[in-house]
Each structure stands twice: as C-alpha cells, then as structure tokens.
Amino acid sequence: MPTCVRERTRGWLAINGRLMHQGPLNNQRLRQLFGTPPMSEISIGEAARRTGLSVDTLRYYEKIKLIPRIARDPGGRLRYDERDLSQLRFVQRAQRCNFSLAEIAELMKLRRAEAAPRPQVQQLTEQKLKEIKIRLKDLERLQQELELLLNLCRGTKKGCPIIERLNSANGQDYSFVIDSSE
C-alpha cells in the first residue's frame, strides 16, 4: 500500500507527489494496484473474506465476547490485525472439532492463560471425544435401521413399510421397533 495517497478523484491519483491516471478508482482497483492493505488496516469485510466467516458472524463473536473487543478507527469502523485473525482461525478449527461456542470460549480463556492449561484442555477434549463416540453409535444404529426399512420396502408390493414404521414410532425418536411378524 502506498505511504501517502493524497487525492483520489475522477480517475486521477496522486501518490507520493506523483500524479497517475488509472481509470475509475475504487477499493477493488486500489487493491489490484497496490495489493492487500497492511494488517492494521483490515476492515471487517476484508477479515470476513480472509476467514470465510460472514460479517454478521464476526460481529456476533465480539458481541458474545468469544473474541476480545476489536479495535476501531476514529470513524468507529472495526479494524482487525493478525492477532484477531489468529483468534478467529482458532475458533474455526475448534468448531471443526465439534466444540460448542461455550466450550470454545473456555478454550480461548485457557489459550490466553499464563500457566500451562494442559489438564483443563485435556479434560474438555476427553469429554468431547466421549460425546462424539456416543453420537457415532447413535448414527450407526440409525444407519442399520434405515437399511432395514429400505430392505423391507424393496421386499414388499403392498403399502409402504417406511411410512408405516415412521407412523408407529409415535414421534419419540428415530428408533423403530421391528416386529418379526412380517
């Protein structure tokens, strides 16, 4: 980014005392000419583009104090630096590990802690692993039940066993009672 942009009107641009004509100038054209602005100057839109998160998500994370308050310029616009982007990437990686926002807030607090938080992080991760193993067992059971329903459907000419089983489950959960009378 140039050190001094003095004037930007009607396609004329004065940079460090040199007058240049580059056609219509907007932020996209300036980015093409001079590259991405330095980290201290990153807007919320640019931070959203770099992280793949929406602007609303970035605002929400700050609102719920998942990340520390973001710096603002004199006009009140949010300005992200490398530290902020690093925290957002940490949140994204934690979400991919299926941590909830509350758990991520705890991990962020532990990340900022002076002392080594290893036991707390390990405990949180062990709990998450237990939850995932339970979920996997539930999904395997669901897979078996759906395969059974498809086989029942393929093996009959009358009615629809899938609809009949869904009706008989009384909306409690996805577990289907399979009677041997069929």
Give the C-alpha separation, 87 to 111, whole Å.
10
Give the C-alpha separation, 142 to 122, whole Å.
30
Give the C-alpha separation, 142 to 150, whole Å.
12
Asked whether residue 134 is domain-assigned, the answer is: yes
Helices (H), 10-117: 27-34, 44-51, 55-63, 82-96, 101-112
Asked whether residue 154 is domain-assigned, the answer is: yes
C-alpha distances in Å from residue 90, one per residue of 70, 79, 104, 128, 129 = 16, 18, 9, 17, 19
Residue 15's pLDDT is: 56
Number of domains in the chain: 1
Give the C-alpha separation, 76 to 129, whole Å.
42
Q: What share of the chain is helix, strand, coil (3-state, %, to 5)?
A: 55, 10, 35
Asked whether residue 133 is domain-assigned, the answer is: yes
Residue 104's pLDDT is: 96
DSSP E strands in 67-169: the ranges are 71-72, 78-79
Residue 1's pLDDT is: 44
Query: Taking Cα atoms as reference points, which of 42, 20, 40, 19 lies closest to residue 31?
Result: 42
Residue 40's pLDDT is: 58
Element (H, E) at 172: none
Asked whether residue 147 is domain-assigned, the answer is: yes
Residue 9's pLDDT is: 46
Residue 126's pLDDT is: 96
Residue 122's pLDDT is: 92
Span between the terminal Cα atoms of the chain, in Å = 74
Asked whether residue 182 is domain-assigned, the answer is: no
Asked whether residue 163 is domain-assigned, the answer is: yes
Q: What is the pLDDT along the chain (182 residues), one digit of tens a residue?
A: 444 444 444 455 555 555 555 555 555 555 566 665 544 579 999 999 999 999 999 999 999 999 999 998 888 999 999 999 999 999 999 999 999 999 999 999 988 887 877 889 999 999 999 999 999 999 999 999 999 989 888 888 888 888 888 888 554 555 544 443 43
**Residue 137 domain boundaries:** 126-168
Asked whether residue 145 is domain-assigned, the answer is: yes
Asked whether residue 54 is domain-assigned, the answer is: no
Element (H, E) at 15: strand 12-15
What are residue 96's DSSP bridge partners?
A: none
